[in-house]
Amino acid sequence: MITRRFAAPLAAVLTGGSVLLAPPTAVAAPPAEKPAERVDKTPVAEGYGGAVSTVDLDASKAALQVLRRGGNAVDAAIAAAATLGVTEPYSAGLAGGGFIVYYDARRGRVHTIDGRETAPGAMTSASLEGIPFEEAVTSGLSAGVPGSVAQWELALRRFGTISLRQALQPAIEVASKGFTVDQTFYDQTAANAARFKDFTSTAALYLPGGAPPAVGSTFRNPELADTYRKLGRYGGRWLYGGGLGAEIVRTVKSPPVTPGSTRNVRPGLMELSDLRAYRALERPPTRISYEGMDVYGMAPPSSGGSTVGEALNILEALPDVGVHEYLEASRLAFADRGKYVGDVPGVPLRELLSDGFAKERACLIGERAMAHPAPAGEPDGDYAPCPAPAGGAQPETAGPAREGPETTHLVVTDRWGNVVAYNITIESTGGNGIVVPGRGFLLNNELTDFTFGPAPGDPNLPGPGKRPRSSMAPTIVLDDGRPLLALGSPGGSTIITTVLQILVNRWELGMSLPEALAAPRATQRNTAQTQAEQAFLDRYGAELTARGHSFALNPEIGAATAVEFLGKGRLQAVAEPSRRGGGSALVVSPAR
């Protein structure tokens, strides 16, 4: 099981070197578009000049179209995200939020844009106390101030080359002409039918004739096409304080509950002033080095970058790395995440990501699984080689049962070598279940990511204007300053372990990137049991159980997308072969 620093595929990549293509100013004409070209859904694509991977063929095609017309990775990523708002409306949408990690090839720098939703100004640490989780899920109360549109505008203004209006075009086309309902869309609609029917607007859109649209049928969303068109015309101001914002506020405060429904739908606290006050924010990325590579991620309010980074540092401090070590490093990093990370001042990010702290934490990993729960460490700058465990026990508070397959992730790279890793979400699959009447999109329920409390000292309690702690972990790896890998996944707090496990598979277990994504998954988040897919149990269950691990079945963990720079300009875009119905990887040109 243990294969320390598996050299073969990675060494080949490293010696091949990642060659950046010409800078934007020295670009030849974009490759001509072939209008009749047939594009299929495939999980792996290799080639040149740019690449994209998303969960959905239409979204990947939208990105490819933008790239082929000369747009850059940011332009293409926004086009794909908006299209996912049409075809994956239960995971993504203009009323959601997300995080972008962006490698700017010309400047050789990694940037991030935080488009996380915020709590309304009227929300306090007690606002969610005592509310049953399931009740909060489908409510106005859990709707955060949307971040995606502000994020798109900021990303395009700072790093893009096209307008929001242009970026929305492919999505408008898909929303107007329609897309083919697949099994995943059908299943997600069916799983939500009981609550969708409780809102007139949602039932009208997603339960036409009272039932989920049939697999193979064409689903159109003309209202969303119209909303996108107007958004392109009026800009984000229409949402952040304008007419669309007023409609969102009205819907949040007075959800369109179906007459006769017995659901207790709590109204929200959002005001137009909250929308006016919203800002997407540029933040410095997290960075750690792993075996000489630089791993960049998302800083708080996401716990993605800090937790993936800490776990990698712990693994690097160990003499051997296999699946046991992967689970244990993750357990420890989650203990620290629970205690220290949230949208609060003073998160000890530097120390959490320091080698000294990682070495101290790595000391706790032995031959057998650690006792549950692992206590949080003391990231205080004063590290002993192998101290006695300290700090309070911090089991993961978000119960594992709550983590579903929601959210989505996409990667795009362009012919200049710019790279985008982008997580976008409306939180639950189907968000809060409430479509804004006449507008064709669902509201998020991101505020359920807060700790409901009472939990004195918890960094993730709600507060006015606060952003709930996220687990989203869009990740970009540079080798010698050049992009090597970009990846991410949906799945709530399993996002962190999925990203980590793919990196362990790739770098420590000798897998190629397609193998690393396809491999069976397990997720240990400082919980008593490790959740694992059946194939993981089949492969490792007996051996790990003998070492003290205990498992619970999770039928499907994550739905990752990734791209690897193979050297000499060659790209490998990778999506899931089967999870969530399989994803779509595309490249601009298969040949140089």
Q: Considering only 288-296, 489-497, 511-519, 571-579, which stretch makes contact with ligand GLU by CB under 6 A?
A: 489-497
For residue 407, state whether it binds ligand GLU (rule: CB under 6 A). yes
**Position among 472, 486, 517, 588 found at the interface with ligand GLU (CB under 6 A):** 472
Beta strands 522-523 and 482-488, pairing class: unpaired
Maximal C-alpha separation, the chain = 67
Residue 574's identity, in one-letter code, is: V
- Enumerate residues 6+ apart whose C-beta is below 8 A from 187: none
Using CA atoms, how far apart are residues 268 and 256, in angstroms rounded to an integer? 13
For residue 43, state whether it binds ligand GLU (rule: CB under 6 A). no
250 Ramachandran zone, left/alpha/beta (phi>0; psi -120 to 50): alpha
Q: Identify any residues that bridge with 214 across adjacent strands, giving them in sequence order.
A: none
Using CA atoms, how far apart are residues 514 and 511, in angstroms rounded to an integer? 8
- Number of chain positions touching ligand GLU (CB under 6 A): 13
Residue 87 bears catalytic tag: no
Minimum distance, C-beta of residue 525 to ligand GLU, in the bound complex (Å)? 12
| Inter-residue contact 404 to 426 (CB < 8 Å) | no
Q: Of 329 and 472, which CB lies nearer to ligand GLU in the complex structure?
A: 472
For residue 223, state whether it binds ligand GLU (rule: CB under 6 A). no
Please identify which of the residues 407, 408, 530, 561 carries the catalytic annotation. Answer: 407
Q: Of 313 and 494, which CB lies nearer to ligand GLU in the complex structure?
A: 494
Tokens of 135: 């009740």
Minimum distance, C-beta of residue 550 to ligand GLU, in the bound complex (Å)? 24
Going by C-alpha positions, the residue among 323, 293, 297 that lies closest to residue 310 is 297
Minimum distance, C-beta of residue 522 to ligand GLU, in the bound complex (Å)? 17
Q: Considering only 217-225, 286-294, 468-476, 477-485, which stretch makes contact with ligand GLU by CB under 6 A?
A: 468-476
Give 3-state DSSP helix, strand, coil % of the chain, rounded to 5. Answer: 35, 20, 45
**Position among 83, 188, 202, 471 found at the interface with ligand GLU (CB under 6 A):** 471
Q: Of 137 and 248, which CB lies nearer to ligand GLU in the complex structure?
A: 137
Q: Of 22 and 552, which CB lies nearer to ligand GLU in the complex structure?
A: 552
**Position among 112, 313, 470, 531 found at the interface with ligand GLU (CB under 6 A):** 470
Minimum distance, C-beta of residue 471 to ligand GLU, in the bound complex (Å)? 4
Q: Of 48 and 441, which CB lies nearer to ligand GLU in the complex structure?
A: 441
For residue 427, state whether it binds ligand GLU (rule: CB under 6 A). yes
**Position among 300, 491, 514, 582 found at the interface with ligand GLU (CB under 6 A):** 491
Using CA atoms, how far apart are residues 310 and 336, in angstroms rounded to an integer? 9
DSSP 8-state secondary structure symbol assigned to residue 449: G
For residue 316, state whether it binds ligand GLU (rule: CB under 6 A). no
Q: In 76-147, at which residue ranges do the beta strands (DSSP E only) sit?
A: 97-104, 109-115
For residue 139, state whether it binds ligand GLU (rule: CB under 6 A). no
Tokens of 294: 């630089």
Residue 46's identity, in one-letter code, is: E
Q: Considering only 433-441, 485-493, 553-561, 568-576, which stretch makes contact with ligand GLU by CB under 6 A?
A: 485-493
For residue 449, state whether it binds ligand GLU (rule: CB under 6 A). yes
| Inter-residue contact 415 to 21 (CB < 8 Å) | yes
Minimum distance, C-beta of residue 367 to ligand GLU, in the bound complex (Å)? 32
Q: Identify any residues that bridge with 477 across adjacent strands, giving them in sequence order.
A: 295, 485
Q: Label residue 422 exposed, middle or buried (CB < 10 Å: 0-12, 13-18, 19+).
A: buried
Minimum distance, C-beta of residue 357 to ligand GLU, in the bound complex (Å)? 23
For residue 490, state whether it binds ligand GLU (rule: CB under 6 A). yes
Using CA atoms, how far apart are residues 543 and 547, in angstroms rounded to an integer? 7
> What number of other Cβ atoms are within 10 A of residue 387's Cβ?
13
For residue 492, state whether it binds ligand GLU (rule: CB under 6 A). yes
Residues forming contacts to ligand GLU in the complex (CB under 6 A) are 406-407, 425, 427, 446, 449, 470-472, 490-492, 495
Annotated catalytic residues are 407
